[in-house]
Amino acid sequence: MMAVILAGGLGTRLKEYTKEEVPKPMVKINGEPILQYQLKNLKKYGINEIIMVLGYMGNKIKEYFGDGTKFGVTIKYFEETIPLGTAGALYYLGNILQKQFIVVYGDIIFDMDFDRFISFHSKNGAVCSMVIHPNNHPFDSDVIVLDNNNKVTEILEKNQNRDFYYNNCVIAGVFLLDISILEYIKEGKKLDLEKDVVMKMLPTKKVFGYRTTEYLKDMGTPERYLLVQEHISKGIVAHGNLSNRQKAVFLDRDGTINKYCGLVSKPEEMEILEEAYTAIKLLNNSEYLCIVITNQPVIARNLCTIDDLNNIHKKLDYELGVRGVYIDDLYYCPHHPDKGYPEENKLYKVECECRKPKTGLVQKAAEKYNIDLSASYFIGDTTVDVQTGKNSGMKTILLASGEGGKDAKYEAIPDYFAADILEAVKIVIPE
């Protein structure tokens, strides 16, 4: 596999951290330029044919990396004489590109399992797969809208006024493309990969969003630069690679994150508990992934549609995002086993494998994110949650908030009791 690294971006707001002026991809972290971290990660997955697109002060990059031998890869260079944006240079690479190739922005630090990403792309028969993730500032990031099969239906640009709820699915800057995308790229044009190419493909081509919890961060500001430096030193960046076993805190939704008010069937009824913001922030800054597992029989009972439920979850994502926190992923069961009500949606009135306390959703998350369940926790306000945790081999915490265990459907004894989600998270992550 081959990768094109877009290293032509301008220099930087990070001048205070570099003695001389350098292009942003050459900014050093713990003695190595960003590009070198990228090469190491790509090479680990056999992606060792590299094309670097150069612009501003490109000769500094060429001097450092040469033909790539020293770094165990081969590097070819394309030097832009006029700025061609993030996609324009691909036109000139047409004869050396392979059928499929990775494109990465040269100014981000990432460490990801490319085997997983590539197999996602193949499985979907995609023409373009974009790596996406939730971050702590979705409101000033480019985000995408996905359908229920992870197909991208829309790109929302960061400068657009968004007066609606949307999921925290931020474009991370790593792409896997099929060579056929070249039909969208014309000679000598400055083109933006997201806006001028991918967005035009959406109506007719298979464009998918690959959601990951792995570390991918840009360093647009000095604060973010310092944070990334710290995360590299502490091994957080490397550990996040999904080839490593992860730990997670699984959270119930109603009565745990949001105020308990029976069945929630419209966004107005989704009211996040104040302590949930603080609790989720603690999780975001910890080694634990934060994954929501929720039974939503509102679908089977026909109290709302899947689109309505998605909107409720968009509100959840949005409100958390405004406060700079996020959940890594959310899984719901739309089913209910008891048939025979006049208003029911028969399609979802089935005995399924995903309704808690069954472990279908937990297993799905564990597989996707390589989670070690024996090192993970389930936190919820019902005995159903406790039983789900037990059935999955996790430690469990029962909350006094929400239903406070009064559902009494199972006799499972939790490992811990806590007043609310914040107290529970503090049991998982002692101060």
Residue 301 interacting with Zn ion (CB under 5 A): no
Write the interaction track for Zn ion spanning residues 64-103; mark x where CB under 5 A is met and - where it is not: ----------------------------------------
Q: At its nearest, how many Å lie between Zn ion and the CB of residue 333?
A: 3
Q: Which residues pair with 418 in a beta bridge?
A: 399
Distance between terminal CA atoms of the chain? 44
Our answer to whether residue 385 is catalytic in this structure is no
Distance of CA 401 to the CA centre of its chain: 29
Instruction: State yes or no: residue 88 binds Mg ion (CB under 5 A).
Output: no
Distance in angstroms (rounded) separating the CA atoms of residues 3 and 101: 6
Contact status: 254 vs Mg ion (CB under 5 A) = yes
Of these residues, 142, 196, 252, 317, which one is catalytic?
A: 252
Pick the closer one to Mg ion by CB: 262 or 342. 262
CA dihedral 167, 110, 179, 71 (to 10 degrees): 180
- Residue 420 found at the interface with Mg ion (CB under 5 A): no
Yes or no: say if 208 and 126 are a contact pair by the CB < 8 Å rule. yes
Decide: 104 and 38 in contact? Cβ < 8 Å. Answer: yes
Cβ proximity to Mg ion, 127 vs 270, nearer residue: 270
Shortest separation between residue 307's beta carbon and Mg ion, angstroms: 23
Cα–Cα distance for residue pair 27/41, rounded to 1 Å: 17
Tokens of 62: 């060429």
Interaction between residue 335 and Zn ion (CB under 5 A): yes
Which ranges constitute the DSSP H helices of 243-379?
Answer: 274-284, 306-322, 360-368
Which of 142, 218, 254, 381 does the annotation list as catalytic?
254
* Closest distance to Mg ion from the beta carbon of 401 (Å): 9
Q: Rule CB under 5 A: say whether 252 interacts with Mg ion.
A: yes
Shortest Å, Cβ 296 to Zn ion? 9
Say which entry of Mg ion, Zn ion, none residue 352 contacts (CB below 5 to 8 A, set by partner kind): Zn ion
Active site residue 192: no
Torsion-angle region of residue 223: left (phi > 0), alpha (psi -120 to 50) or beta?
A: alpha
Residue 96 has a CB neighbour count (10 Å cut-off) of 13
Does residue 306 touch Zn ion according to CB under 5 A?
no
Residue 8 binds which one of Mg ion, Zn ion, none, with CB within 5 to 8 A depending on kind? none
Residues that bind Mg ion (CB under 5 A): 252, 254-255, 381
